[in-house]
C-alpha cells in the first residue's frame, strides 16, 4: 500500500514542480508515504462482550 501512495505523491510533486509551485525540503519532510485516510486507527471492536444465549429448544424431547 505504501508504494502506491509514494508513487501518487511523486507524481503530484512532479506536477507541482512543472507548474512552478515552490516547495522546500521541510515541506517534503512533512509528507508521509503511508496512506491513512481510509484506516480507522482503533478499528471496529465489539463493545458487548457477553456471548449470545444458547438457542431456545421448541418442543419436548422425544
Q: How is the chain split into domains, by residue range?
A: 1-35
Q: What are phi and psi of 10, to 5 degrees?
A: -65, -45
Residue 12 grid coordinates: 503530484
Tens digits of per-residue pLDDT, 5-44?
788 888 999 999 999 999 999 998 888 777 766 666 777 7
Q: Which of 35, 45, 44 is nearest to 6 (CA)?
A: 35
**pTM for this one?**
0.50
Amino acid at each position: 500500500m505504501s508504494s502506491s501512495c509514494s508513487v501518487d505523491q511523486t507524481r503530484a510533486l512532479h506536477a507541482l514542480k512543472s507548474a512552478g509551485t515552490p516547495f522546500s525540503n521541510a515541506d517534503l519532510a512533512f509528507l508521509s508515504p503511508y496512506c491513512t485516510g481510509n484506516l480507522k486507527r482503533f478499528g471496529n471492536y465489539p463493545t458487548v462482550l457477553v456471548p449470545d444465549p444458547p438457542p431456545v429448544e421448541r418442543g419436548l424431547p422425544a
